Amino acid sequence: MTNTDPLGYLVPDRRLMHNKRPRVIIVGAGLGGLTLAMLLEKTDIPYEVIERAPVFKPLGAGIALSPSTAPLFMQCQIYDEFVSLAKRAETIQMVNEDRETEYCINTTNMEELFGAGGYLISRPMLYDLLLRQIPRERIQLGKKVLSMHQGGNGVLVRCSDGSVVNGDILIGADGAYSAVRQGLFSDLKKRGKLPPSDDTPLPFSTVCLVGQTVPLDPAEFPLLGEERCQFVNCIGRKKRYSWTVLTTKQSTVLWRVILYLDNKSKRDNDPFRNSEWGPEVAKAMCDQVREFPIVSGGTTPLTMGHLINWTPKEFISKVMLEEKVFETWHDCRTVLIGDACHKFNPAGGLGATNAMHDAVVLANLINALPDHPIASEIDNAFQAYKDERISWAKDAYNSSKSFRDMTATSYKAKMIRLGVRMMPSWAERKLLTPSENRPQCNFLPLVTNTGSSPPAAQPSLCAKRPQPDEDSEGVHDSAAAI
């Protein structure tokens, strides 16, 4: 009698097969996809990354990373280089249009609590650091996914250049408008298994304009001379905007302007809804915000127009800021990470961090799979990944919404800011709760916690690859019981 697994697929007799680790296809060479690739490179699991862009061109402005990624970077031996490229970030200064400071959010105690501080790094710098950890031959560019198919024997991805990529596991790390997610959801919908909440367009309430200047002289922009990152957020008085400037270690200024949409402006901006960070649609918004006042640390009054003039056009981009945590993260041999399964407003600075945490947990569980894993074993590993990550993703989603609301111009936002000003120390400590989640790889030497706050429980840290004898017996006993 032929054995089948709980998903209805044939079960191979692993006792008659040579050892074979599952082959992983990662779609998307963003921060989450590169982090996962960096980790798999340290295992014996074969993988490849396919990216639809024809060249590496990371756009966007800055990435704020909390202490929660420090153990990962230490395990991968890139923490010291990361620190050399980043600038320590300890305060967020809130100012008004008269360039007057209203209050500050202070996080100077993070190192004592969590063993590391928070840092601000330009997105291209972080992207390049991760990219250098991965052999170039592992990444294929110009591979736009057209369709995907999965079953008991594996997964197959067809690309726009006519190529076909085969593997055992498919990872959708391709952003908010993930082609992998769309293919997965289309298949689930046909089978009547897609939750109604996942069958709706991504909601958005803000539009973001971002850029990074060329290196500037501190005489032009004195805040650049400060040792710590200067994070200055200005709230519009009678306009539906907030804007932010941040200083980097490379003497550039990262800047961001957020437009808070009403029903009419949502309709006006809907044609620009996409997952790309690009300069093509940015010019009109640049013209609208040129006169916004900024704090530079000097006596000469500067505006957003100065920063726009100091920024190469190719480093300016406009993007919709969607917000959603999807209910469906996986099915069979396909799983989603990062923005593909949870998209946060960047006001909270939690998107990149959570994508990296996804990669750590998923790498642990993929590494713990037996040789020749059957579809149900892979699907169970993906469910364990979601179980570990979903509550953290929802917390990050809510936190990002709160930070977004705090910088808006509504009455609700004003009340939130008033509450922050009067916040007691115990409530300030609660703002740092996400940094308690500091996941590590179970197949790399563990980093000792040096902070006074212990890391949160991490179930995937205990995931272990079964021994061949245990594996063979287990799969056949399981199949025989069906």
Residue 416: CB atoms within 10 A of its CB come to 17
Of the ranges 46-55, 387-396, 423-432, 464-473, which one carries the lowest mean pLDDT score? Answer: 423-432
Q: What is the mean pLDDT of residues 364-387?
A: 96
What percentage of the chain has pLDDT greater than the value 70?
Answer: 82
pLDDT of residue 322: 84
Burial class (CB in 10 A: 0-12, 13-18, 19+), 440: buried
Q: Does 269 score more than 90 pLDDT?
A: no
pLDDT of residue 8: 59
Q: Does 128 score more than 70 pLDDT?
A: yes
Please state whether beta strands 231-235 and 91-95 pair in parallel, antiparallel, or not at all (unpaired). Answer: parallel
Q: What is the mean pLDDT of residues 20-37?
A: 96
Q: Does 275 score more than 80 pLDDT?
A: no
Contacts of 16 (CB under 8 A, 6+ apart): none
* Length of the chain counted residue by residue: 482
pLDDT of residue 383: 98
pLDDT of residue 346: 75
- Return the exposure string of 341-371: e unless at least 16 CB atoms fall within 10 Å of the residue's CB, then b: bbbbbbbbbbbbbbbbbbbbbbbbbbbbbbb
pLDDT in tens, 53-88: 888 776 667 888 989 999 999 999 999 999 999 999
CA distance 466 to 335: 22
pLDDT in tens, 207-246: 889 999 999 999 999 999 999 999 999 988 888 888 999 9
CA distance 91 to 295: 15
Highest mean pLDDT of the ranges 43-47, 59-63, 110-114, 452-456? 43-47
Report the mean per-residue pLDDT for the chain. 86
pLDDT of residue 19: 64
pLDDT of residue 231: 93
pLDDT of residue 421: 62
Higher pLDDT: 480 or 169? It is: 169
CA distance 145 to 179: 6
pLDDT of residue 187: 95
CA distance 78 to 72: 9
Closest by CA to 358, choosing from 329, 378, 331, is 329
User: Any idea what DSSP says for residue 400?
Assistant: H
Model confidence at 41, pLDDT cuts 50, 70, 90, reads very high
pLDDT in tens, 135-149: 999 999 999 999 999
pLDDT of residue 112: 87
End-to-end CA distance of the chain: 12
CA distance 456 to 472: 34
How big is the CA angle at 130 (ends 129 and 131), to the nearest 5 degrees?
A: 95
Query: Structural domains in the chain?
Result: 14-88+112-201+323-408+424-480 (3.50.50.60), 204-322 (no CATH)
pLDDT in tens, 278-329: 556 788 899 999 999 999 999 999 999 999 999 998 889 888 788 899 999 9
Which residues are bridge partners to 150 per DSSP?
155
pLDDT of residue 1: 41
Q: How far is CA 186 from CA 7, 50, 160, 340, 463, in A?
A: 19, 21, 19, 15, 32
pLDDT of residue 480: 31
Contacts of 162 (CB under 8 A, 6+ apart): none
Q: How far is CA 84 from CA 4, 107, 112, 121, 243, in A?
A: 53, 20, 20, 10, 27
What percentage of the chain has pLDDT greater than the value 90?
Answer: 60
pLDDT in tens, 84-116: 999 999 888 989 999 998 888 877 788 888 989
